[in-house]
Structure 1
Amino acid sequence: MDLGTTPRSTAAVLSELRAGVQDREALVVREWVGIVEWASRHVVAGPEGAATITDGYLDTGVPIAGDGAPLVSEFGLMELVAVLGRSPDGGRAYVGRVIECAWRLPHVYDAVVAGRLAPWRAERIAERTHGLNSEAAAFVDRQLFDATGVGWAQLDRLVTEAVLRFDPATAEAERAKAADRRRFDIDPHVDDHGLVEVSGLMDAADGHDLNQAVTRRAEVLGRLGDHSSLDVRRSRAAAELARADLALDLLIPDPDTGEAIAVPGRKVELNVHITDTTLTGDNPVGRWEQGNGPLSSEQIREWLQAHDTTITIRPVIDLADHLPVTGYEVPDRHKRAVALRDHTCRFPRCTRPATRCDIDHSQPHAQGGVTCPCNEVPLCRRHHRAKTHSAWHYDTLTPGTYLWTSPHGHAFRVDHRGTHPIHTADPPDE
């Protein structure tokens, strides 16, 4: 490979890479110092003063680190996370780890600032100490005076010892809780082929019975002509056991009338978006809303052909329609249209599904704003509060595209492609 430059020795390349690593870590340390400086200016004095009036709006102190660390301004934290370029939840957790180190793990924090400990290692330590009381966290910090050589197994042992020494009641509660760790999980993430991972932890006898039932059903499928591998037949057998239960005529109360109704079979709700090439087979792709991803038209057919499946066809929702209502309450058809248009909370970098959000009137209803999808925006409860009670505000450029401005003037464009910080020539006024 000819890079058009004079070849350098391996030692020179490695030296340059090492210098780059040091520069990168130095920038992260500067960021940590800035976060701690910011936190010291945005402390809410205590739980009794967590809800205060600041500059004319309600601001709530939130605990994002462990016992003894300060509460910080909720609305201020939103602005900090946005400026850091992180998601609301991820950024909140990241700032919490920095504050955990600065206030509860001073030896660890000093090691980071001095360049003796990589910031990512300190974050890992902060994650493990977050739930400890102040005495236990201080014990761990004292043991990590020279934190550069700590291993994760040693860290886990330190945390366990700290809990046993300084919080025996919590240690006993955790031991009792661990005695019942049974679970059965289906990963919500659907892969590119429409498959999901299933995992669980069961009572030994329950696990034996389930294994026997799945194995027996897999053998029956083989005798009936299914020539798939045993693993594939066991997977199908587990699904058939589920459908057999769903097919039972279970009586449940109707939410509207209160009368008992039978609900048999699998229920699948598909929002199908089509183009002029879909019907010709040139674009055989559908989107499964619950699975949050695309899937093939063939898999959709396979699901709908499953035994005892109930199919409900809903009217097509035209996302371009503007059908306002006179009242303040947002009707269900508006909520569905807004969720299909925006998909998530429209605050910068928030990924909360729109189906789990409040619907905000972009122009307040009391100020003449209409109750119409063109004036409705999905906001999760946290960011709905920020828009209503703080200096955060947004303008709707077009339905689905929003321009947010933070309390100190930082701007972010949010649309279906994500969040885009808008950089101005002059820094915002402080």
Structure 2
Amino acid sequence: MTSYPPAIDDFGYVDPPETAWDESRPDTRVDSQLARAEFAAGQIARATAAQMAAIARVLAEARRHPEVYVALTDEPTKRQIDIAVDAAIADLAMRLTMAEGTVMTMARQADLLRTRAPRLWSIFLEGEISVANARCVAVTLESLPENSESDGTLDGKALELASLAPARFKDRMRTLRERLHPRSLTDRHTEAACGRRFWRDNDRDGMAWLGLHLTAPDAETAWQRIDGIARHLADAPDETRTLDQLRADVAADMLTGRSDPATAPRVTVGVLVPMLSLLGLSDEPATLEGYGPIDADTARKLTAHAPSFYRILTHPVSSTILDVDRTRYRPPADLKRWLALRDGTCRFYGCGRSARTCDLDHSKAWSKGGTTSAGNLGHLHPRHHTVKEESRWRVEQHEHGRLTWTSPTGATWNSDPPPF
């Protein structure tokens, strides 16, 4: 058999010498890349299943042996077990560079598949079903009451359909769920409506996404109203905006109160503006509370014309705010406002909870000599605040607000410093 040197493609992939072959023909090159892609897909599925199983085992160990994560002097209480599990979730999230919600979801899905769809779980462990389809089965199982007969039916049907594309597989699972669900759609809709919500995701270039999860009638009514107003505006002879832009502008006007200022609730949003930018002598970005960097021109307009925005001016050279140690436990309003802008979100690894809804924590406890100053305060989600105070997690704050977190199992993480 002819031996060929390692083949290096445009993406930097290197074939080991024992598997390289003559790729002078285009059909051979296509076949080899298809084989690589198929093999990699199986590896991804196997690795994801193994990771999900390992995460579930860690949380199970934290429940059985909470002493790994919390200090115990007696039999653990339910609260201590819960805190141990939260601490383990945080440990996993930091080690795996995942969101804590993702860690919890992966553990829950592993348990669901292992206990309620064991045949599908076994082929998932072997990489014979895609990650998307396996997760779809777990989501479907989670929405169905546990029942050995219906679980067995779903497990078997999922095996039959395992090779379908994710979108088609999801449609089949949704149809099967309707057939297997013991409760009426009316009851389920009433319950599902309790999960309605409104959320925001920050995007690039000074933009952000807003989302609504509503009942279908409310969503359709809202869409028709916004679309109708947008189409009416589009008929104006001098209108240059697209329909998508018009719909977005109409919705923004409604939600911000610009369409009816008299009835709009008053809100306050912080804008941190470098002094030279405010004076028009620099284009250094400003910082919008709860979002991050915005362009200087937008910041100047907000601070000049919007009474719902307050300004915090920074030093024109160092861009810092000087701070002195406080002699009281509760931080004064000006310090709280500055810290909310400095931190933006919870300072624990990966947490995006807005600083506005977080606890303001003393990194070094007040009772142990910690001061109420910018150098010893940071925002923490109440859950992470509890984990810090009541588990073996530790945090140390350094110069300029940098934090070092150490998990109960010894993993460390140096937080990104705040932007100022």
TM-score, structure 1 as length reference: 0.70
The CA deviation at 1:107 is 2.2
Aligned residue for 2:360, secondary structure, equals: strand
Higher relative contact order (CA 8 A, sep 6+): 2
One-letter identity of the residue aligned with 1:378? H
Q: Pick which of 264-273 and 397-406 moved more.
A: 264-273
One-letter identity of the residue aligned with 1:15? A
More strand by share: 1
One-letter identity of the residue aligned with 1:349? G
Distance 1:30 1:203 in 2: 40
One-letter identity of the residue aligned with 2:344? H
**8 A contact 2:87–2:387 mirrored in 1:** yes
Identity of aligned residues (%): 19
Q: Pick which of 396-405 and 187-196 moved more.
A: 187-196
Distance 2:52 2:220 in 1: 48
Cα pair distance change 1:293/1:236, threshold 3 Å:
same
Q: Give the equivalent residue in structure 1 for 2:109.
A: 97
- Report whether the alignment pairs 1:331 with 2:332: yes
- Report whether the alignment pairs 1:347 with 2:363: no
**Aligned counterpart for 1:140 among listed residues 141, 145, 154:** 154
One-letter identity of the residue aligned with 2:411? H
More helix by share: 2
Distance 1:348 1:328 in 2: 26
**8 A contact 1:183–1:202 mirrored in 2:** no
**Aligned counterpart for 1:124 among listed residues 136, 140, 146:** 136
**8 A contact 1:214–1:238 mirrored in 2:** no
**8 A contact 2:199–2:211 mirrored in 1:** yes
Q: Per-residue displacement from partner, 1:208-230 (whole Å, max 9, x unpaired)? A: 777776766777xx48xx54458
Distance 2:336 2:146 in 1: 45
- Report whether the alignment pairs 1:161 with 2:197: no
Distance 1:153 1:233 in 2: 33
Q: Give the equivalent residue in structure 1 for 2:32.
A: 12
**Aligned counterpart for 2:47 among listed residues 27, 34, 44:** 27
Aligned residue for 1:273, secondary structure, equals: strand
- Report whether the alignment pairs 1:108 with 2:120: yes
Q: Give the equivalent residue in structure 1 for 2:274.
A: 274
Distance 1:77 1:185 in 2: 26
Q: Give the equivalent residue in structure 2 for 1:395.
A: 396
Q: Per-residue displacement from partner, 1:228-270 (whole Å, max 9, x unpaired)? A: 458466766666674353325xxxxxxxxxxxxxxx7865634
The CA deviation at 1:61 is 4.9
Q: How does 1:278-427 map to 2 (within 5 A)?
A: 279-283=279-283, 285-290=285-290, 292-300=291-299, 310=307, 313-314=310-311, 316=313, 319-416=320-417
The CA deviation at 1:43 is 3.6
Q: How does 1:79-90 map to 2 (within 5 A)?
A: 79-90=91-102
One-letter identity of the residue aligned with 1:192? D
Q: Per-residue displacement from partner, 1:45-81 (whole Å, max 9, x unpaired)? A: 9xxx9xx97634875556xxxxxxxx98332232223
Distance 2:394 2:416 in 1: 16
The CA deviation at 1:189 is 4.4
Q: How does 1:31-110 map to 2 (within 5 A)?
A: 31-43=51-63, 55-56=72-73, 60-61=80-81, 73-110=85-122
Distance 2:153 2:80 in 1: 31
Distance 1:144 1:209 in 2: 41
One-letter identity of the residue aligned with 1:272? L
Q: Per-residue displacement from partner, 1:91-147 (whole Å, max 9, x unpaired)? A: 222222222222333222112123322333212211222232221545523543545
Distance 2:120 2:137 in 1: 8
Distance 2:265 2:127 in 1: 61
TM-score, structure 2 as length reference: 0.72
Distance 1:198 1:130 in 2: 24
Number of aligned residue pairs: give it. Answer: 378
- Let me know the Cα RMSD of the aligned residues: 4.3
Distance 2:221 2:48 in 1: 51
Q: Pick which of 105-114 and 207-216 moved more.
A: 207-216
> Where in structure 1 are there 5+ consecutive unaligned residues?
63-70, 249-263, 419-430
